[in-house]
Structure formats: C-alpha cells, structure tokens
Amino acid sequence: MHKKYKPLFSLDPNVTYLNHGSFGACPKIIFDSLIKFQKQLEFEPVNFLFSDLFEYLKDSRFALSKYINCDRDDIAFFPNPSTALNTLIRSLDLNKGDQILTTNHEYGALDRTWNFISKKTGCEYVKLEIEIPFLDKQKFIDSFKNSINSKTKVIFLSHITSATALIFPVKEIIDLAKQKNILIIIDGAHVPAHIDLDIKKLDPDFYCGACHKWMCSPKGAAFLYVKKEYQKMMEPLVVSWGYEAENPSDSQYLDYMQWQGTNDMSAYLTIPDTIKFLNEHNWIDKAKKCRDLNLWAKNEICEKLNTFSLGDDEFLGQMTTIAYDFDDVIDNKIEFYNKYKIQVPFVKWNDKTFFRISFQVYNSKDDINYLIESLKDFKK
C-alpha cells in the first residue's frame, strides 16, 4: 500500500515519518486545490472576500456535514481545534462552584485552557485519573457516574486522546450527560477519517474535529459542531462585522464565527476536494489497513523492546503510545531525530515517558523495523 500512496504526498523521502497524528500530511492533489483558491483570492481580493468566499464556505460546510452526518448550518470552520474550543469554552456561563469534569488524558493546550478559565471564573476543574494500560470500558464509565454531583455543569472529553492515543467510549458518556442534564463537549481532533464519526448518532452538545490531521486537508482547517439549541450562547473570540450584522443571515452562530477579520480561509474551501479524494481512494478501507499495521507494530515493539502499550486493541485506532525510558523527552527527541531521521514524538505524561507511533497510507512494516533497531542503538 505504501509504495502506491507515498508518492502522493510531499513528505521528505529521507525521513521516516511515524507522526501523522500531530499535524497530518496533505496529498499533493489537495494542496493544489489550496493553491487554486489562494490564486483566486489574489486575482480579485475584493470580489473573492465579499462574495465568492461565502458561497465556497457554504459548499464546504455542506460537504463536511454529509461526511460527518449533521446539518450544514450547525458547523463552523476554525483554523484549529484549540481556537474552536477556546471560543466555545469562553462562551460558557461558568461561575464559582461550577464543576468541569474531565480526565487526566486531555490535550495539553486544552488542559491549560480549562486551568485558565477555572482561575478566571472560580469554577472547579476536576480531572479523573484514568489508569493505564486502559483495559476496562465499564470501569471508565463508572468513574464518571460516581464523580458527577449537583455542581457538575460540563463534561469535557477527548474522543481519541492525543498523548496516550486511546479511543474513549464517548457515546456512553454523552448519554450519561444527557440523563443528568449536563453539557457535554467532545474533543474529536483525531477522529474525522480515523474512525467512524456520525454526529447525529452520537448526539453531543458540542463536537470539535480537525480536518488537517486524518482527513489530510491542508493545515489550518477544523470545525466546531454546536447543537442548535446552544448556538445563541456562542460568542465570537474576535468581534467583527458578523456581530450586529447589517444583513444578518438565518444563523447568528455563522454570522459570529465565519468572519473574524481578514484571513485566508483557503484551507476550509478545500474540504469538498479533500472528501472527494478520501472517497475515491476508499479511505475507510485504508484506515482499517493502517489500524492493522498499528496493532502489528504495537505487538512487535512491545515484544522486541520488552515494554507495553497504553491500551488494549479495542481502544486503539491508527496510533499507539508505548512506554519507554527517556532521560529528557525534549533533548532525546532532538538527538534521536538528528541521528536517525525518524519523526516520532517522545512524550512525558504523568511523570512517565513514552513514544507515540501513528500510521498513514505511506507507512510500512519496514518503518517499524527501522524504529526498533534505532531505539536499541540509541539506548547503547
């Protein structure tokens, strides 16, 4: 598979790239779509930004809404999940004593966002300690059931965690939140085109996903789904012409979010071409093959390096995080890359060290064999 697909990407051929999960990689044909829109923007900037852009955005939202199964006007584009979720979190009416319930596996940037908000509002930010290896779904669900109280106002949960690469059972937690009348926010940055995503089936209050990771769109494309009943509460991170608009649309949410000052939104406009690429190449099947490669790699690494991964196969997709001793994850990562030209993140989490591997269609078993031999040599 990798021999066919690796030439479709612009990745450095001298680097073994085992880190698709961080920023993704964009196929050349989709990158060409980005350049096409940027050329249109520069050819006639005024007409493009005042007229053409909003029709293109509508087309992109329609294509994405079909892909993830939601209504077109319930999603807005953002440059990244961090910006989208900051916009949402800052829109919440949080007060002293309100409780935010989450886990100790959340993405570092959002963990910092919640810390900032808790200091600003006086709300309580509670992180459940989810043990690793992650083996028991019911224990996870019960930990939330047992931690909810009368002060719990929001549950914030990753669908697929970043550092620990685990697929959490979010549907059960969404249902639990609805039973308890608690707002539920799902950080699905790693989900679109990685595992199945059906918004209407999940039925979250809020769901954020990245397009530039596993969907392979150009960098700077993410979305935030907001259930209709909560859209009026959303406030723009940057107040611009959409606020108190002279010619408002039917959606205050889109008016507030779509225009936040002059910006190149070309990455958003590539979404129809991105989805066309995924469908033409049967990406659902490719994701399954990448997952198979990931599970093989996990077993091979754990056996040959005498270590363990952080989750059972049931909770893994195209990424795995594996325990490994490093002296200093930052210095060791730089040294390892410079010596072996392998792009793989070294992670410090809960005072323990790990590395995370993530697979896309351009990877092969040879990449893992080289990683294993390089780690052995690095330890000498």
Ramachandran angles phi, psi of 339, nearest 5°: -85, -40
Residue (of 265, 214, 179, 285) closest to 68 by Cα position: 214
Token digits of residue 223: 């979305």
pLDDT at position 85: 98
pLDDT at position 210: 98
Domains annotated for the chain, with CATH where assigned, are 2-18+282-378 (3.90.1150.10), 38-270 (3.40.640.10)
Residue (of 279, 354, 349) closest to 319 by Cα position: 354
Beta-carbon-side half-sphere exposure of residue 25 (alpha carbons within 13 Å):
22
**Given its phi and psi angles, is residue 23 left (phi above 0), alpha (psi -120 to 50 degrees) or beta?**
alpha
Q: What's the average model confidence in pLDDT over 264-283? A: 98
Distance of alpha carbon 88 from alpha carbon 85, whole angstroms: 5
pLDDT at position 134: 94
Cβ atoms of residues 328 and 2 within 8 Å: no
Cβ atoms of residues 140 and 157 within 8 Å: no
Token digits of residue 234: 């959303």
Ramachandran angles phi, psi of 344, nearest 5°: -145, 130
Cβ atoms of residues 187 and 132 within 8 Å: no
Residue type for position 335: E
Beta-carbon-side half-sphere exposure of residue 208 (alpha carbons within 13 Å):
24
Cβ atoms of residues 202 and 168 within 8 Å: no
pLDDT at position 211: 98
Which pairing describes strands 222-226 and 206-210: parallel, antiparallel, or unpaired?
A: antiparallel
- What are the tens digits of pLDDT across the range 157-174? 999 999 999 999 999 999
- What are the tens digits of pLDDT across the range 204-220? 999 999 999 999 999 99
Distance of alpha carbon 27 from alpha carbon 20, whole angstroms: 12
Distance of alpha carbon 104 from alpha carbon 108, whole angstroms: 10
Token digits of residue 9: 């990407």
- What are the tens digits of pLDDT across the range 65-117? 999 999 999 999 999 999 999 999 999 999 999 999 999 999 999 999 999 99
Polymer length of the chain: 380
Q: Which residue has the tokens 């679109």?
A: 192
Distance of alpha carbon 88 from alpha carbon 253, whole angstroms: 11
Cβ atoms of residues 77 and 258 within 8 Å: yes
pLDDT at position 91: 97
Using the predicted structure, report yes or no on whether residue 329 has a pLDDT greater than 80: yes
What 3-state class would DSSP assign to 351? Answer: coil
What 3-state class would DSSP assign to 347? Answer: strand
- What are the tens digits of pLDDT across the range 210-254? 999 999 999 999 999 999 999 999 999 999 988 988 888 889 999
Average pLDDT, the chain: 96
pLDDT at position 25: 97
Residue (of 300, 352, 294, 345) closest to 320 by Cα position: 294
Residue (of 356, 278, 350, 267) closest to 311 by Cα position: 356
Token digits of residue 20: 């698709």
pLDDT at position 379: 83
Residue (of 147, 264, 277) closest to 211 by Cα position: 277
Give, as one character, the DSSP assignment of residue 306: T
- What are the tens digits of pLDDT across the range 114-142? 999 999 999 999 999 999 999 999 999 99
